[in-house]
Structure 1
Amino acid sequence: MRDIVAGCCQFSIKPGEVQRNCETAEGMLLELAAGKCRLAVLPEMWSCSFPYPVLREMAEKTPEILDRMCKIALDKRLVIAGSLPEAAGKTIFNTGYLIDSTGKIAGRYRKVHLFSLYNEQRHFGYGTSAQVFSTSIGKIGMMICYDLRFPELARKMALDGAEIICVSALWPLVRIEHWSLLLRARAIENQLFVVGCNGCGAEEKITWGGASAIISPLGTVLAQAGQDEQSIVRALNPFEMSDFRKTIPCFEDRVPEVYNPYNADICGGDDIASRPEGDDIPL
């Protein structure tokens, strides 16, 4: 991992207003790049929020949006992470895209844990894997909103070599303390950097909580936003991660034979395989 500056673009996403949201995101990305930022994280579904009646129409615009983001990434030497709707056959996924500073898509992560309280499973397909992607700045894993509540996912990424986990979210204000605590917990448990970008503003009956944050491997809050639109930035020192892992060698001290069967049971492939896909997902 390189010594870099990371940032979050926290803004109020206007449901269904793709052009407006793209202009907001692009403006914030250019501002971060001007400040020598090399990793920028955007919120969940940042192009459109969750306008379910026109979700497929929104997803069909994603390839064009990705082209725009790839051009910015290449021109500004910026790594960009964020979640967008992805159309794959008859299924729509809530997909995190990781764009490298080369202007190429380094990785794609489909949200594994769909938020049943908001009936996300009625509109999206389940992701079935979580990878760590190599980029020009280091190895990065991605999580989307509700994923943050599942420590197994972050641990898998850490064991696969992740140095940074980027979290894109639309997390409500009513549970914002959970968001802040869970970002720190995932960083401490896995001794890595966590960069979490949340949306803000009001949408129908929900107020998104903001509080985007950059967390060190020790769980220190390096930077945190308020509840309004704003960018945050902070330098990430890779030696902080390596030094802490040497001081408290959690990964070396693990006893996986005690809890691996448990992890296999709660993350089991049978459960994932039995989830509806394709034609079984009502749109």
Structure 2
Amino acid sequence: METITAAAIQFNVKQGDVDANLTYVREALGRVAAQGAQLAVLPEMWSSGFSYRNLNELALRTSDIVEELLALSQELKLVIVGSMPEPNGDKVFNTIHVIDNGKLTGIYRKMHLFSLLGEDKAFSGGDQWLLAETSLGKIGVIICYDLRFPELSRRLALEGAQIICVPAQWPKPRQEHWRTLLRARAIENQLYVVACNACGTIGKLDFFGMSMIIDSKGELIAEAGEEECEITETLDMQEMYDWRARIPCFGDRRPELY
């Protein structure tokens, strides 16, 4: 596909309130589809937030939500990417379901758990990366803290990713880390990055939003503020390939030395 219209749906995730979050997302998906979006990225743990006290119970809702998203994606002709809790024994996975026009095209379970906030105590870590083959092309996915581990994004790029989607709940005061790391992943891998962060106060943490769409040169082509909003932008695949031809980083790699 030559061009893709991508959207990031930034909102204040209501911790533990699946019904409120789902209502918001239903309406927001309709809005971005009406604007011509083909790809919609949601925040990390958008359905429930990190509600540790009843996380296992909330995770039981996820399979039904996936079924609803499958129907919505088919109706709205959308690829939808966002993470939710997935049951796994006495813990849960932080899982992305890549949903493509009524089909589930891949599942990614967050590999890197943010031990500083105790994620490793409530969650199981995933052990497999995902490059989803979608109707829009090859989409790689990572979740929040994964952004700090460049090897994962590089693997996705080497496997052919054209876009990397990043659902996140990235809190204050690390705004500049967020901006810098997202741009770095786009620059070093010469691809588009669509990153969706939460905003507002969730539990005890404040989130700054700043969802971004970044092109293959690392330029911000769309950026949100700190309030609930949707940002959309057109991704030009030919521009990306032209840029890769001008600066042939992939061809100049010497992996045998490192």
With structure 2 as the length reference, what TM-score do the two structures score?
0.98
Equivalent residue for 1:84?
Answer: 84
For residues 176-255 of structure 1, the aligned pairs below 5 Å read 176-255=175-254
Q: Which runs of 4+ in 1 moved over 6 A?
A: none
* Residue number in structure 2 paired with 1:105: 104
Between the aligned residues of both structures, percent identity stands at 50
Q: Aligned in 2, Cα 1:76/1:149: closer, same or farther, shift over 3 Å?
A: same
Matched with 1:18 is: 18
Q: Which residue of 1 aligns with 2:46?
A: 46
Q: Is the Cα–Cα contact under 8 Å of residues 84 and 96 in structure 1 kept in the other structure?
A: yes
In the alignment, residue 126 of structure 1 is paired with which amino acid?
A: G
Corresponding residue number in structure 2 for 1:278: none
Q: Is the 8 A contact 2:58 2:85 kept in 1?
A: yes
Aligned positions of 1:264-279 closer than 5 A: none
The structural deviation recorded for 1:39 is 0.2
Residue correspondence of structure 1 range 111-190 to structure 2 within 5 A: 111-190=110-189
Give, as a single letter, the amino acid of the residue that structure 2 aligns with 1:22: L
Q: Whole-Å Cα distance in 2 between the matches of residues 244 and 19 of structure 1?
A: 44
- Whether contact under 8 Å (1:2, 1:138) holds in the other structure is no
Hey, what's the Cα distance between the residues in 2 that align with 1:49 and 1:121? 16
SS of equivalent to 2:48: coil
Cα separation, 1, equivalents of 2:159 and 2:94: 22
Question: Which blocks of at least 5 consecutive residues in structure 2 are unaligned?
Answer: none
Q: Deviations over 1:177-221 (max 9, x none)?
A: 111111110000000000000000112321011000000000010
CA distance in 1: counterparts of 2:22 and 2:176, whole angstroms:
29
**Alpha-carbon deviation of 1:229?**
0.2
Aligned to 1:257: 256
Count of matched residue pairs: 258
Structure 1 residue 140 displacement after superposition: 0.4
Shift in Å at residue 91 of structure 1?
3.5
Distance, in Å, in 1 between the alignment partners of 2:91 and 2:14 is 23
What is aligned with 1:69? 69
Amino acid at match of 1:41: V
* Residue identity in the other structure for 2:46: W
Give the Å deviation of 1:257.
1.2
Q: 1:89 Cα deviation (Å)?
A: 3.6
Q: Which amino acid aligns with 1:40?
A: A
Deviations 1:119-168 (A, max 9, x none): 10000001111021100001001110000011100000001111000000
Instruction: Specify the alignment match of 1:262 in structure 2.
Output: none
Residue identity in the other structure for 2:19:
Q
CA distance in 1 between counterparts of 2:156 and 2:34 reads 30
Partner letter of residue 65 of structure 1?
Answer: I
